[in-house]
Amino acid sequence: MNRILVVDDDQGMRDYIEIMLSREGYDVKTAPGGKEALTLCRKRTFDLLITDLKMSGMDGIDLLKSLKDISPETITILITGYASGETALAAMKEGAYDYLEKNFEPDDLKNLVRDALCNKEASKEDAQFIKDVEDSVSFGKMTGKSKGMLKVYSLIRRMADTSANVLILGESGTGKELIARAIHENSSRNNGPFVVINCGGIPENLLESELFGYMKGSFTGAYADKAGLFEIAHGGTIFLDEIGELSPFLQVKLLRVVQEKTFMRVGGGRDINVDVRIISATNQNLEKLVKTGDFREDLFYRLNVIPVRVPPLRERKEDIPLLVDYFMEKYSREYSKEIKKISPYAMALLVEYPFPGNVRELENIIERSVALETTNIILPENLEISVAGDPELPSGDDLMISEDGVDMNEEVVKFEITLIKKALQKTGGSKTKAAKFLNISLDSLRYRLDKLGLTQKE
């Protein structure tokens, strides 16, 4: 049973919260002020502290600061009748989980308490998961605890040390190269080279000489013999990214390498034998390309001995907090920052965002946020997230645009305000129900209300 301490110099408010949360199954204690609260915290450990911000004697933020030394693992929620952006920022700088206005609805507090306690348990589980993965097997820089990623990890363990060719399938930015590296590093070939080439970024004539090498004089500029990437990868692994971009001519040449482990340099007349494991990757539907005749069927089956499907980030949202922590630590070191936390509002926005650019886009967002942040916590205003993460907008077929044009940002804000107001009207003013109606989190709704200046109006 979770232990909660409620601190407020208003006995009526203390009793109200105690009764409400006790009925939810929590072990609730109360204190009339900060000093009494600290005395209780020295005698026993509380999972969660709910405290009024403005109290006689020691206020909520001072209590929060003092509690860090006594019980740093205790989560804190502030309740205030003087809500402001400055108050929230000051509280969260000191480590508060979140805050509520004093005219909160019962469901708002219940949901926030549940989320805070669940977040505390999830943080423990995430830390243990990362430790377990690091202790058992190296997956390079891959991070994730979702079922989809655990399946990928399991598949890597089982097939890494075979000689079978692998085809990695997934959208751009999902980390296909990281998976290829993990396969190589966990194989008996890990002492050999790992060679990477993007088949979609090099013209056909240059790609052929890059892959297979060339002989002196075979074309203008070939002043000396040059080994190709397949020769360089001998005894190791070659990773062919964007394999679906290969021309029909190069597909034929690659098929020979796959089948016979032999090829000739451009302009050469001697077969060269290689021992290379081939890992390919694509964000295209190769089976569809086979049906249309744009990709050879025999080559497809030769490359697709073991398929690895990488789930997009929108299908493994539980991995987002882990990835955020990883990138936050990485770029804090790189930019010499002391950023240790991301606000719940900001995290809620990230979890809701569909990430069309997947993990690569998330990394860019966090890097930019760390670079721009001037405090020790990432705040929502420093997240550059596309409006694609907001509720779906109408098609706009009926929208009239004058010859003078239209302010798109202003129109989007107007629509968001209208949508939120209608949701609150439909739910009788309940923020919790409105958030569910809009398919966003309560944190995200409160952030939007603050951002749009609706907090005091509703």
pLDDT of residue 212: 92
- Does 430 share its domain with 285? no
Structural domain count of the chain: 4
Does the pTM surpass 0.85? The reply is: no
Q: Which domain holds residue 332?
A: 314-389
CATH number where 227 lies? 3.40.50.300
Q: Looking at the structure, tell me whether residues 55 and 42 fall in a common domain.
A: yes
Domain of residue 348, CATH code: 1.10.8.60
Q: Does residue 101 lie in a domain region? A: yes
The verdict on 165 and 258 lying in the same domain is yes
169 and 304 together in one domain: yes
CATH number at residue 32: 3.40.50.2300
Q: Do 321 and 305 belong together in one domain?
A: no
Q: Are residues 170 and 227 in the same domain?
A: yes
Rounded to an integer, the average pLDDT of 243-260 is 92
* 3-24 pLDDT tens trace: 999 999 889 999 999 999 999 9
Residues 162 and 280 in one domain: yes
Identify whether residues 73 and 188 lie together within a single domain: no
Q: Tell me the HSE value of 436 on the side-chain side, using a 13 A CA sphere.
A: 9
- Answer whether residue 342 shows pLDDT above 50: yes
Answer yes or no: is 72 within a domain: yes
Among 258, 276, 310, residue at a domain's last position: 310
Q: Is the pLDDT at 89 greater than 80, yes or no?
A: no
Confidence of residue 131 (pLDDT cuts 50, 70, 90): low
Residue 381 lies in a domain: yes
pLDDT for 138: 36
Residue bearing tokens 């709704």: 445
Task: State the pLDDT at residue 398.
Answer: 47
- Res 83 pLDDT > 60: no
My answer on whether 156 and 289 are in the same domain is: yes
Spatial separation of the C-alpha atoms in residues 50 and 56, rounded to whole Å: 16
Same domain, residue pair 275 and 374:
no
Q: What is the mean pLDDT of residues 378-405?
A: 58
pLDDT by residue (tens digit) across 141-166? 678 888 888 888 888 888 888 888 99
Q: What is the pLDDT of residue 145?
A: 80
Looking at the domain assignment, is residue 401 inside a domain? no
The two structure tokens encoding residue 86: 């400055």
Would you say residue 95 lies in a domain? yes
For residues 159 and 304, membership in a common domain is answered with yes
pLDDT, tens only, 92-128: 777 788 888 878 888 889 988 988 887 766 566 555 5
136 belongs to a structural domain: no
Give the tokens for residue 400.
């009239």
135 within domain boundaries? no
> Among the listed ranges 77-91, 171-185, 417-431, which one has the minimum average pLDDT value?
77-91
Query: Quick check: 416 and 390 in contact, CB under 8 A?
Result: yes
The confidence score (pLDDT) of residue 86 equals 60
Three-state secondary structure readout of the chain: CCEEEEECCCHHHHHHHHHHHHHCCCEEEEECCHHHHHHHHHHCCCCEEEEECCCCCCCHHHHHHHHHHHCCCCEEEEEECCCCHHHHHHHHHCCCCEEEECCCCHHHHHHHHHHHHHHHHHHHHHHHHHHHHHHHCCCCCCCCCCHHHHHHHHHHHHHCCCCCCEEEECCCCCCHHHHHHHHHHCCCCCCCCEEEEECCCCCHHHHHHHHHCECCCCCCCCCCCECCHHHHCCCCEEEEECHHHCCHHHHHHHHHHHHHCEECCECCCCCEECCCEEEEEECCCHHHHHHHCCCCHHHHHHHCCEEEECCCHHHCHHHHHHHHHHHHHHHHHHCCCCCCEECHHHHHHHHHCCCCCHHHHHHHHHHHHHHHCCCCEECHHHCCCCHHHCCCCCCCCCCCCCCCCCCHHHHHHHHHHHHHHHHHHHCCCCHHHHHHHCCCCHHHHHHHHHHCCCCCCC
228 found inside a domain: yes
Same domain, 162 and 294: yes
Going by pLDDT thresholds of 50, 70 and 90, the confidence category of residue 235 is very high
